[in-house]
């Protein structure tokens, strides 16, 4: 079968990735074999290439998000059948999604609803599940009125806006000038152009000087959010996490590492990946969330798609079709 691989430890750039023939994977006892139909492309895929991983064997097959059809079952797998349409977010430490066939832990998979196609399913995973985990696992929404979502035109940001809207929250988002129209179509309550406006000043103006109750930060520099957050506020960090926080605001700070569940050694966390994927796909089915796929690639164009993501050329979500 064909797979997109990091061929050797010294390969650290997208230009060094290779399509190669690999043996068909055999599912372990708790895994299923999936025929890949579509995959999600994520900025983290490019970062993984640059950083590598100490435990990889080479060549290593890349990819995190897969949607496809079950072709085989491990001996201990229950609740799935050959022919089921499934989707899930994978473990970057192991060979994964950018291949014609892949194996996945069954517990981390969700069935794709009949009304959702493979492309939409694949496009809903990493960014969508990151936004979903930030809002519905990390945050306590009972005391949240206003949510500040950074980078509203990105995969995580655009999904978080929709999810926060569905939860009935007042949504403020930041965006660059050229991406404002894309974000405006998602109907946030306020848009801040970070290239033209002072973000902190605008957040305080929009919140009567109180600050946002919840901030989802997928851009880094989280310390800048300390001035923008309300007393008893919550800061959920996708990238860097502050090592210290102002003592006078009683903040809650959460670190989000979606795929880390696979490496946690805790089967409950792996199973929650499957639950979150299923809950998110149900929202897609109900029309409450749209993965906002704006770019589709053929499988042999995945490296180009990752380059475009790395260069911030894509708003919304990019996927590749096998």
Residue 279 sits in a domain of what CATH number? 3.90.180.10
**Cis check: omega of the bond before 59, within 30 degrees of 0:** yes
**Are 218 and 302 found together in one domain?**
no
pTM of the model: 0.95
Q: Are residues 105 and 139 in the same domain?
A: no
* 209 and 169 part of one domain: yes
Point out the domain boundary residue: 256, 274, 302: 256
Pair (40, 115) in one structural domain: yes
Asked if pLDDT for residue 234 goes beyond 90, the answer is yes
Per-residue pLDDT for 170 more than 90? yes
Given a cut of 90, whether residue 10 has pLDDT beyond it is: yes
Two tokens at 91? Answer: 């473990």
DSSP states along 158-207? HHHHHHHHHTT-EEEEEE-GGGHHHHHTT--SEEEETTTS-HHHHHHHHT
Q: What is the DSSP letter of 295?
A: E
Mean pLDDT, residues 59-81 taken together? 97
Task: Specify the 3-state DSSP secondary structure of 72.
Answer: strand
Q: What are all long-range contacts of 115-118, with beta carbons under 8 Å and residues at least 24 apart?
A: 115/285, 116/281, 116/284, 116/285, 118/37, 118/38, 118/67, 118/68, 118/85, 118/87, 118/321
Q: Which of 256, 289, 311 is the last residue of a domain?
A: 256
Residue 97: predicted pLDDT: 96
Do the Cβ atoms of 106 and 32 come closer than 8 Å? yes
pLDDT, position 243: 86
Strand spans (E) along 56-100? 60-61, 65-73, 85-89
Q: What's the pLDDT tens digit per position in 37-49?
A: 999 999 999 999 9
2 SS3 class: strand
- What is residue 94's predicted lDDT score, i.e. its pLDDT? 95
Q: Count the Cβ atoms, other than its own, within 10 Å of residue 93.
A: 15
Is residue 52 domain-shared with residue 116, that is, in the same domain? yes
Q: What percent of the chain has pLDDT over 70?
A: 100
The answer to whether the Cα torsion of 253, 209, 158, 170 is positive or negative is positive
Same-domain check for residues 9 and 77: yes
Q: Per residue in 171-182, pLDDT tens?
A: 999 999 999 999
Q: How many domains does the chain have?
A: 2
Domain boundary among 256, 278, 313: 256
For residue 244, pLDDT beyond 90: no
Distances (CA, A) of 287 to 27, 115, 141, 162: 34, 11, 22, 10
Which residues have a Cβ under 8 Å from the Cβ of 286 and sit 6 or more positions away? none
Residue 56 shares a structural domain with residue 71 = yes
Is the same domain home to 13 and 104? yes
Residue 248 shares a structural domain with residue 263: no
**71 shares its domain with 184:** no
Token pair for 19: 């399509």
Give 139-169 pLDDT, tens digit per residue: 999 999 999 999 999 999 999 999 999 999 9
Flag whether pLDDT at 266 surpasses 90.
yes
In whole numbers, what is the pLDDT of the chain averaged over residues? 96
Q: Which domain holds residue 23?
A: 2-124+259-321
**Cα angle for residues 24, 277, 319 (degrees, 5° grid):** 60
Residue burial 71-83, b: 16+ Cβ < 10 Å; e: rest: ebbbeebeeeeee
Q: Among all chains, which residue has been given the structure tokens 């196609």?
A: 117
Same-domain status, 41 and 149? no
CB 126 within 8 A of CB 190: no
């Amino acid at each position: 079968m064909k797979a997109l691989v990091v061929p050797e430890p010294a390969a650290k750039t997208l230009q060094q990735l290779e399509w190669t023939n690999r043996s068909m994977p055999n599912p372990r006892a708790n895994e299923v074999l999936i025929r890949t139909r579509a995959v999600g492309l994520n900025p983290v895929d490019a970062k993984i290439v640059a950083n590598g991983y100490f435990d990889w064997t080479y060549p290593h097959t890349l990819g995190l998000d897969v949607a496809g059809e079950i072709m085989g079952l491990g001996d201990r797998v229950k609740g799935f059948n050959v022919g089921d349409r499934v989707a899930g977010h994978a473990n970057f430490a192991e060979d994964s999604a950018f291949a014609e066939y892949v194996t996945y832990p069954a517990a981390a998979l969700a069935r794709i609803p009949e009304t959702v196609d493979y492309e939409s399913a694949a496009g809903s995973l990493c960014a969508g599940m990151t936004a979903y985990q930030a809002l519905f696992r990390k945050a306590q929404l009972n005391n949240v009125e206003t949510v500040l979502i950074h980078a509203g035109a990105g995969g995580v940001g655009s999904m978080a806006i929709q999810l926060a809207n569905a939860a009935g929250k007042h949504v403020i988002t930041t965006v660059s000038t050229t991406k404002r129209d894309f974000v405006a179509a998602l109907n946030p309550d306020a848009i801040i152009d970070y290239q033209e406006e002072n973000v902190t000043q605008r957040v305080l103006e929009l919140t009567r000087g109180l600050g946002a109750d919840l901030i989802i930060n997928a851009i880094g520099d989280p310390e800048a959010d300390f001035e923008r957050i309300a007393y008893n506020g919550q800061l959920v960090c996708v990238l860097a996490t502050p090592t210290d926080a102002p003592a006078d605001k009683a903040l809650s700070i959460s670190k989000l590492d979606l795929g880390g569940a696979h490496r946690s050694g805790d089967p409950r966390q792996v199973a929650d990946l499957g639950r979150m994927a299923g809950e998110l796909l149900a929202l897609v089915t109900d029309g409450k969330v749209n993965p906002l796929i704006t770019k589709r690639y053929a499988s042999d164009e995945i490296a180009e798609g990752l380059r475009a993501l790395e260069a911030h050329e894509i708003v919304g979500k990019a996927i590749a079709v096998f």
